[in-house]
Chain A
Amino acid sequence: MSEVEVPLHRLAHSRAGDKGNRLNLSLIPYDPALYPILAEQVSEARVLALFRHRGATRCTRHDLPLLSAFNFVLDEVLEGGVNGSLNLDGHGKTHSFRLLSLTVRVPEALAPRG
């Protein structure tokens, strides 16, 4: 079957939360059939690379197959967090949409139209 490359934003949703200088990002596919594909392609290493410019030192992915969801935890990504950050978004609330800008390759049948 042929594959297409699409941004995660078309396949999944996400929310960011913070505690100190640690950020968590959920990743929730709209279609549970996408869960194994995201599990394979949205690796800890890829997500860490996405936030490397911010000084992220570690990325841990917790898999929740019963909820068809992933939880990414990133350390040192908030440049000091609300304590020290000079960023307008010290809490990192906007980073869910940086994660959703990653692309993944999916079978055409699973790619949403539009």
Chain B
Amino acid sequence: MFLLGNGAGFSGDRVDAPIPVLRTLIARGLPAAMFFETLGERTVALAHLEKRRDPALGYEPMLERLLEPILAPAHAHRIPLLGNWGAANPPAAARAVARLALAQGLPGLRIGLVEGDDVTALVAGGQLPVHEADAGLDMGAWSLIAANAYIGAEPLVEALRLGADVVVAGRTSDPALAIAPLAHHFGWRFDDWQALAVGAAAGHLLECGSQVTGGVFWDPGVKDIPDPANIGFPIAEVTAEGGLLITKAENTGGLVDLRTVKEQLLYELHDPAHYVTPDVVLDITRCTLAQEGPDRVAVRGLIGHPRPETLKVTASFEGSWLGEGEVSVAGPNALARARATADVLLERLRRRGLSVRARVDLIGVASVHDSDAGVLWRAYEGPEPPDIRIRLAVESARRDDADQAAREVLALLCCGTAGTGGARWRVTPRILTQSHLVLRERVPTRVTVREAREFAA
């Protein structure tokens, strides 16, 4: 049996979560690995912009904080750590791991660096077809930041085969980080679709960390979980025969049951017969689950189909500007004052002729479920909320227009309805993304495995 733990589900996850996972893996004494998924579509674009400002940056900002408490015990117990912490700059992330290893007296720690996912030149040259889902997007007006291909597990396996204790990658597919240590341990071939389906399912269930152990699941009084301030991150038990069981770190909060596993199994899934990864196409239409004990759920009936010939590419662009302004009203007649404020803000944008697309939310009445036209808050007939925050959001190709529009909220401190306060406003650049497809042979990867002392030099 092999144990696979997850230490992070996104960039911004709880940085103390990996510690109980590693402790559990060590206590169980079985062959094991841990993976960290910290790279969203926008995270990589932001990292590229950071790398432009400072060539030593552009990797996961929490990398050192995540690894500091676990690097030495993981190394001592031969538990490899894999992550896409590299973001826009995998070599810089590898050097950061090397510095940390040296500081902890581990000069012989072996670091595997996986490169080659950056396909910016292919997108810039207009050589890649746009993914059908994004066919309607015209990026002609915007400037390309970068483009990265979602690479599969094979180069990660190569790094493990060369003895890497820590594998640092950039834009991998999320499940690849889970498939790689399993394929390495069990010697899976990359055309064994059945085995790879088990790995892809393990990756899919674990890649969002606590989302399979109670995170974004708990609904107080309806779906309660133990100790939500200390949700245990997940661990998969995988057998040579293709058995898969989901459990979690010991002595932690959260839970694993049929409900948590079902929610995560269907998360970001479209056609359940075709969950496409670079390594295998996963089919869960025959999948069944069984609770085998407290916090233990077995996953059976997974089906694998051959992998696609193409890899998905996410290209990011510097887009327009987002202006946002907020102000509050509360107490008697708050709803009428909020509605009037919303209408006046839109009238001000019209009178000033600002070139913006605008939306107003009445937070506390209707916001996240509403439309840009404010259909829900305009039609609202319920009781008067005691406290409403009015939010103006605008988009413009011109920074100054976005800024001027957002400042209209500020002006309400004097010009607004009675009892208006708490103004905040800001303007931020938007990053746009567009998916492309690339033939996998056009994305050659490079794997380098060296000791920390060599990487740090």
Most buried by B among A13, A20, A67, A69: A67
Q: Which residues of B contact A9 (CB under 8 A)?
A: 222
Q: Are A94 and B268 in contact (CB under 8 A)?
A: no
Q: Which residues of B contact A54 (CB under 8 A)?
A: 371
A69 to B260, CA, bound (A): 12
Given contacts A64-B284, A79-B372, A26 and B267 within 8 Å (CB-CB): yes
Q: Are B269 and A17 in contact (CB under 8 A)?
A: yes
Q: Are B272 and A71 in contact (CB under 8 A)?
A: yes
Question: Using an 8 Å CB-CB cutoff, how does the interface string of B365-376 with A read, 1 for contact, 0 for none?
Answer: 001111111011
Q: Which residues of B contact A71 (CB under 8 A)?
A: 266, 269-270, 272
Chain B contacts to A: CB under 8 angstroms: 41-42, 133-134, 137, 216-217, 219, 222-223, 259, 262-272, 284-289, 301, 319, 322, 357-359, 361, 363, 367-373, 375-376, 391, 393-395, 430, 432-433, 435
Other than the given A53-B370, A79-B371, A86-B359, 13 more pairs (CB < 8 A) read: A17-B269, A22-B133, A24-B266, A24-B268, A26-B262, A26-B266, A62-B270, A64-B287, A66-B285, A67-B287, A79-B372, A89-B368, A94-B369
Q: Are A26 and B369 in contact (CB under 8 A)?
A: no
* 10 contacts across the A-B interface (CB closer than 8 A): A15-B264, A15-B266, A15-B267, A28-B263, A62-B270, A67-B287, A82-B433, A83-B430, A84-B432, A88-B368
A84 to B301, CA, bound (A): 39
> Would you call A19 an interface residue if the criterion is a C-beta within 8 Å of the partner chain's C-beta atoms?
yes
Question: Using an 8 Å CB-CB cutoff, how does the interface string of A24-37 with B read, 1 for contact, 0 for none?
Answer: 10101010000000
Chain A residue nearest to B221 in the complex (CB): A114
Tell me if B's interface is mostly helix, strand, loop or mixed. Answer: mixed
A91 to B394, CA, bound (A): 18
Q: Are B368 and A69 in contact (CB under 8 A)?
A: no
A26 to B268, CA, bound (A): 9
A112 to chain B, nearest CB (A): 10
Chain A interface category by residue count: 35 or more
Tell me if A's interface is mostly helix, strand, loop or mixed. Answer: mixed
Chain B residue nearest to A62 in the complex (CB): B272
Q: Are B271 and A62 in contact (CB under 8 A)?
A: yes
Q: Are B133 and A67 in contact (CB under 8 A)?
A: no
Given contacts A64-B272, A66-B287, A67-B288, A84 and B266 within 8 Å (CB-CB): no
A61 to B319, CA, bound (A): 34
Q: Which residues of B contact A66 (CB under 8 A)?
A: 285-288, 301
Those of A43-69 within 8 Å (CB) of chain B: 53-55, 62, 64, 66-67, 69
Q: Are A67 and B289 in contact (CB under 8 A)?
A: yes
- CB < 8 Å neighbour of B270 from A14, A73, A84, A94: A73
Given contacts A17-B269, A88-B361, A88-B391, A95 and B369 within 8 Å (CB-CB): yes
Chain B residue nearest to A10 in the complex (CB): B222
Q: Which residues of A contact B262 (CB under 8 A)?
A: 26, 28, 67, 69
Given contacts A9-B222, A13-B259, A89-B368, A83 and B137 within 8 Å (CB-CB): yes
> Would you call A87 an interface residue if the criterion is a C-beta within 8 Å of the partner chain's C-beta atoms?
yes
A94 to chain B, nearest CB (A): 5
Chain A residue nearest to B363 in the complex (CB): A88
Q: Are A19 and B268 in contact (CB under 8 A)?
A: yes
A111 to chain B, nearest CB (A): 15
Q: Are A64 and B435 in contact (CB under 8 A)?
A: no
A30 to B263, CA, bound (A): 12
